[in-house]
Structure 1
Amino acid sequence: MQSETFFDRDLSWLSFNGRVLEEAGKNNVPLLERIKFLSIYSSNLDEFYRVRMPAVMALEKIHHSKGEHKKEQAKSALLYQINNTINEQQERFGAIFTTELLPLLKEKNIHLLYNEPIPDNIRADVTDYFNTQVMAFLQPVYLSISGVKFFPENNKIYLLTVVENERGYDELVIINIPSDNLPRFFTVQRGNEQFVVFLDDIIKDNLSAIFKHTVVKGCYSFKITRDAELEVADDYEGDVARKIEEQLSKRDFGLATRLLHEPGIENGHLQLLIMALKLQNAMVVQGGCYHNLKDLGSFPAKDASLSYDKWPAISVKQGNGTLSLFEQIEQKDIILHPPYQSYDLVLRFFNEAAVNPAVTEIYVTLYRIASDSRIGNALVSAAKNGKKVSVLVELKARFDEANNIRWSKRMKAAGVKIIYSATTLKVHAKIALVKRKKGNRIAYTGLLATGNMNESTARFYTDHILFTAHPDILREMELLFIFLGHRKKAGNPGLINFNQLLVAQFNLQQRFLQMIDREIENARQGKEAAITIKMNNLEEKVLINKLYDASKAGVKVRMIVRSICCLRPGMPGLSENISILRIVDRYLEHGRIFLFHNNGASELYMGSADWMNRNIYRRIEVCFPVYDEAIKKQIIEILQLQLQDNGQAVAIDEHLNNVPLPNDGTVLCSQKAIYNLLSAQQM
């Protein structure tokens, strides 16, 4: 439940996903983009059931075991609110899809068959596709056969088929929908008309080919969502990669948290399914006719006019073309803002490091590696070229563990020194350090970012990447890499004295508290005092309470928080000086920026750290200062555009509502404005 002081983190996240859903309902968003927002909403909700619902359900069991609820109160208040919120959103999802988007598709001669018969004019094509492509992947399982063992995989779709056996009794048969092997949608073109058929419906329409001489009485889709958490003991000292690989093999066999099924299943058949699959402890949810609508992200329509107009990535022009990138960085800090600007500069950074004969050592943290990573390939080349390459690969990056393990093995085979973080501590920092010979000394060049070094996500995550040769910053970065190389817990915060960098487990929380306290003191002295913060998630209560103190002292606090937000703004006597925006647009807002007025001598930090319990207490995070005045000015301009957004931004009010912002006829969408700003500055 919500408290008077803090929003519940799960309800707050559902509020964010509701904002994503709102984007699908906007008439001014291109049609195929609206469909993609439905896909994003669906994917987000699946992850919520995998990651958060196990914790919520476990908490409910604790309450029940303590006798805190009467027998008739089947659900905790929080679980009740979560279910109500999801149910309301799902109803809105269905309404947007069926009453708005499907008719609009038909107007464009795109017929997505949704819970309707397959037309006669395409039936032959559909049947032929079933016979030649689909049938090879079908594996019917008869639940009545003694000894048959069937374990439904996580988030895979199945059909519960009810057939009448030769004795006249109902028999339950489970059929897999092979969407891992085949596209979810099959397309047939008839003139200028495109017909799109769900794989589910192709199977349903051809059940007679599977159950010959048998009466099919019903067919209903269902799926099961399972707990996604991996378990690695805090004190595990063995081969961490092998241990996580073992856990990954078990992830899809974890505790079932949800059984989602199509309406219409007889209760007796549903109970038999629950018993046969041992789902007694799962939440049973009646959904729509189709599940895994995250697959709408691959909807097979090619009309470019139905998507966003293209924003070509801006090429970042550098100065003297005869200088290497490292030499240019030595002369002046460089800032990059993907996806508005081309990510090529990051690739060049690692490529030059790999082949430059003066480069002797490369250090980098990798949290989520692209599956076909150019950065990973550059690091492999660097090691083969005789460089000393040390890479900290975070094996516990949720849902990217397998890919990270694959890359760590490849790099290790090439001679890269692979470092894994301690099992109790994720390394979420986004940093890289290159050392090269320059005459009789060693020159340092660094990269510090707000987002992962991942060229795939850089196409749609908004981030900020600083290239610098600042000696004090890079010396501290080197000390951090030395510490990480020993795979120890941070333990003693005084172990390393960080003055430039803010590093979680060492000084990050303390320094942020001090900077907020400084604004509080300035406000009490009658000086102008202001804090502007942009982040993805806000949960940690010590820092939130300090922001409440700042508000009560008269400090103007403006925040942009994309997802989880546990701070309640606008509460009299508590947070009336705090305003919070949430921006959802074509790109995923991802950068973390911290701006403190400091009586006119503003201090600006960026970095990897949200203010979540996990970031503050269980991760290595790095935030870094921005000293270059031109770069600082540009970042503040970007922040100001986002604070002025009244097209894609909403205000989070004291009741956790997403409140549209008023306009006087002039609408500013910050992502478009930022793209225009950076384009103009590059000319």
Structure 2
Amino acid sequence: MVTTYFNRDLSWLTFNGRVLQEAARGPVPLLDRITFLSIFSSNLDEFYRVRMPVLRALQKLQERNHKALDVEVLPDEFLQAQQMIQAQQEQYGRILTQDILPQLQANHIQLLYNLPFPAAIKQQTTDYFFGEVLAFLQPVELTENTTFFPENNKLYFLVVLEEEGIETLMVVNIPSDELPRFFTVTADGETYIAFLDDIVRYNLDKVFSTKITGCYSFKVTRDAEFDIKDEFNVDLATAVEKQLGKRDFGLATRFLYQPGLPLRSLSIISHVLNLQEGSAVAGGVYHNLRDLASFPVKNSALTAPKWPALRHNTLAEADSILDSIGQQDYVLHPPYQDYHAVLRFFNEAAIRPDVQEIYVTLYRVASDSKIVNALISAAKNGKQVYVMIELKARFDEANNIKWAKKLSAAGARLIYSVTALKVHAKIALVKLSNGYRTMYRGLLATGNFNENTARFYTDHILFTANHHLLREMELLFLFLARREKPTSPDLIPFQHLLVAQFNLQSRFLELIDEEIALARQGLPAYIHIKLNNLEEEVLINKLYEASQAGVQIKMIVRSICRLIPGVPGMSENITVTRIVDRYLEHGRIFVFGNQGNPKLFMGSADWMNRNIYHRIEVCFPVVDEQVKGEILQMLDLQLRDNTQAVRIDEQLNNIPVESNDAPVRSQQLIYEMLQNRTANA
């Protein structure tokens, strides 16, 4: 029997495996490879917080059902995920110890990885321990009455003490939340980098007077999910804050410990700390290697040359960006291009006398957001400011609550989504009045209005005065303000925008059907789609149907992909690639051939169940021919990438793209394309 869909979690793990491949690639500069190791570790921590609880729950449910029904047990996806993670972590260790560390040494950089401190730095590390580290240590004895609770993803040692044949177990925190993870000493022409962990480890004899017979690092990862009921008489911000306080006290999903921890000690700590529900995993000596993102070496010879963000000449030189948008559409491509134009859009709107109202959706907000500060100024300047701020954006809740309070204090009207329906759209609308006529200016984007993530997420932002799109955007904000889900498909007010919960899925199905009809008539038919994640089965099945009809389908899917490509009789006309390079691919683009006059859409929506059924998403048509040509040219470069792209095969493997053509590294070529346009403008 042919499997119809990949498992979403195993698919995501293969994406993280692709990140690990980049850390192993020789052509990637050394410090950039260390950054990819950090990204892999950070991704895996989030997987354990968010997805492992789901897999474990499904495993238990299947076991109960199969016992009750006496049927054959399905493949254990929880076990498969564990095995895949174990294999990746072993590869991680080989890359780091057998490749990265020797190359660092060749450049006179000694990362002291599970090594004793050399004599040249012992005094400096001891002084640092007494002067900085010791103040943060909080030893706790493990007994039946211990009230100690290991916080999520924080680092600890389990220290075994022995006195007169009696063992005592102590937990000692590694204060990496208070101090840098790495300590650097330069001596004898070498740069020595010590882990904070080892500075604690090698000085424990100054903390305990009794004999130390063992010291083992560990951390606990906890379930990140929380639940908020739809109770409109309860302030949502308050409800979210209360739940946030509980997040780091969720059930343990992983107990990661240093190999060699005695079984007896493992049993005791699991019992005392109530970790039975956790997944005990033997890891390495060091945990939280996402901290390699702050690796304390700055050497331009060991990293890729920078691509300075390019200026968008027309928008940068305009006397008024709002007036320029009134003349024609523009598109901005961060991080290739400078985010200044987006900031200026909001800043101008905040100060111009003819701006009456500002509407915006905010999902993930920068911690020092200039955009939100502009909205605060706008409200204080007498503008009507309506902000749909999503308080349930995972791991950004606290930051968003902070800004929500400041916006509210300034007089902005906050619109919260219903708790079961996140607003993930990336849209902004400005209404101007010249006394007798209302005018619209808007932004429609594939990524968040966040100037920090705009430095490394590839996105596309449309600046437009298109009345059809922006009038429908205004209607959407009115819907959001009512905080109601749509009740009837007959009441759909959107003819141009594609809005989840209204017409997004049905319109995409229609567009695919149009290409199917062309293929069945023997006419050329194609679909090109770029997404972050592909999961939703109705749309996947329609793509299978299109493939069977002869539609040529090329897809770029960064991470989760449940569609199985290249299966005869099901998906032989579908190829799926993923691109991993210096920037994180984030834009969503949808192209339908339309007999040589392509229909192009962009927007916020991945094809995930959550995006289709549980969020407000917005996709939009690109009608300006110049903007359309620019997007299509960029997408064509990515579809031809044979350097950073891999092809996903029917076994979910990352297969290098084989080509006899000249090397195509799409991100570099996109940068050079935009650079040439900037120079020639």
Task: Pick the TM interval, shorter chain.
Answer: over 0.9
- Cα shift readout 1:539-565 (whole Å, capped 9, x = no counterpart): 000000000000000000000000000
Read off the aligned partner of 2:175 and give its amino acid letter.
Answer: P
Matched, 1:168 2:170: no
CA distance in 2: counterparts of 1:191 and 1:584, whole angstroms = 39
Give CA-to-partner distance per residue, 1:414-459, whole Å, 9 cap, x none. Answer: 1111111000100000000001112411110010000000000000
CA–CA separation in structure 2 for the residues paired with 1:118 and 1:67: 55
The 3 A distance-change label for structure 1 pair 70 and 183 is farther
Report if aligned partners of 1:444, 1:469 keep a CA contact under 8 Å in 2.
yes
Distance in 1 (alpha carbons) for counterparts of 2:23 and 2:550 = 38
Q: Are 1:407 and 2:403 matched, yes or no?
A: yes
Q: Contact 1:60/1:76 (CA < 8 Å) preserved in 2?
A: no
Post-superposition Cα deviations, 1:320-368, rounded to whole Å, max 9, x if no partner, equal 9564111101111010000000000000000000011110100000000
Q: What are the within-5 Å matches in structure 2 for residues 636-675 of structure 1?
A: 636-664=632-660, 666-675=662-671
Query: What is the deviation of 1:181?
Result: 0.2
Correspondence 1:446-465 to 2 at 5 A: 446-465=442-461
TM-score in terms of structure 2 length: 0.98
C-alpha distance after superposition, 1:551-598 (max 9, x if no partner): 000000000000000000000000000001100000000000000011
Flag the 1:9–1:345 CA change in 2: closer, same or farther, 3 A: same
In the alignment, what sits opposite 1:28? 27
What's the CA shift for 1:494?
A: 3.3
* Mapping for residues 292-303 of structure 1, pairs under 5 Å: 292-303=288-299
Q: TM-score, normalised by structure 1?
A: 0.97
Distance in structure 2 (CA, Å) of the matches to 1:37 and 1:268: 36
Aligned AA (1:493) = P
Which residue, out of 180, 198, 205, partners 2:202?
205
Partner secondary structure for residue 566 of structure 1: coil
State how far apart, in whole Å, the 1-side matches of 2:2 and 2:484 are: 37
Percent identical pairs in the alignment equals 59
Measure, in 1, the Cα distance between the counterparts of 2:170 and 2:150. Answer: 13
Shift of 1:76: 5.9
2:309 equivalent to 1:313: yes
Secondary structure at the aligned position of 1:318 is classed as helix
Residue in 1 that maps onto 2:674: 678
- Change in Cα spacing, 1:76 to 1:285, as seen in structure 2 (3 Å) is farther
Ranges in structure 1 where 5+ consecutive residues have no aligned partner? none
Equivalent residue letter for 2:581: D
CA 187–174 in structure 1, closer or farther in 2 if over 3 Å, else same: same
Structure-1 residue corresponding to 2:42:
43
- Provide Cα deviations, 1:42-67, integer angstroms capped at 9, x if missing partner: 00000000000001101111122234
Given that 1:493 and 1:505 are in contact with CA atoms closer than 8 Å, whether structure 2 keeps it comes out as: no
Of the candidates 540, 545, 568, which is equivalent to residue 544 of structure 1? 540
**Which residue in the other structure is 2:389 paired with?**
393
Question: Equivalents in 2 of 1:496, 1:455: separation in Å?
Answer: 33
Determine the C-alpha separation between the residues in 1 that align with 2:525 and 2:516: 7
Does 2:625 match 1:626?
A: no
Distance (whole Å) between structure 1 residues aligned to residue 533 and residue 244 of structure 2: 27
How far 1:664 moved relative to its partner? Answer: 2.8
C-alpha separation in 2, matches of 1:296 and 1:323: 44
Which residue number corresponds to residue 225 of structure 1? 221
| 1:509 partnered with 2:508 | no
Instruction: Give the residue type in structure 2 aligned to 1:142.
Output: E
Paired residues in the alignment total 678
For residues 369-380 of structure 1, the aligned pairs below 5 Å read 369-380=365-376
Letter in structure 2 aligned against 1:314: L
Out of 513, 518, 526, the position equivalent to 1:522 is: 518
**Structure 1 residues 661 and 321: CA distance shift in structure 2, 3 A:** closer
d(CA) in 2 for partners of 1:253 and 1:469?
A: 48
Counterpart of 1:443? 439
* 1:497-646 to 2 correspondences below 5 Å: 497-646=493-642
Q: 2:182 pairs with 181, 185, 198, which one?
A: 185
* 1:338 and 1:462 in contact (8 A); partners too: yes
Deviation at 1:488, TM superposition (A): 1.5
Distance 1:5 1:320, change over 3 A: closer
Gap runs ≥5 in structure 2? none
1:163 maps to a residue whose letter is L
Letter in 1 for 2:591: L
Q: Distance in 2 between matches of 1:678 and 1:493?
A: 42
Change (3 A) 1:515 1:76: closer
- Alpha-carbon RMSD: 1.6
1:328 equivalent to 2:324? Answer: yes
Contact 2:34 2:292 in 1 (8 A): yes
Aligned partners of 1:450 and 1:19: how far apart in 2? Answer: 23
What SS does the aligned partner of 1:677 have?
helix
**In 2, Cα distance between equivalents of 1:34 and 1:142:** 40
SS in 1 for 2:313: coil
| Offset of residue 75 of structure 1 | 10
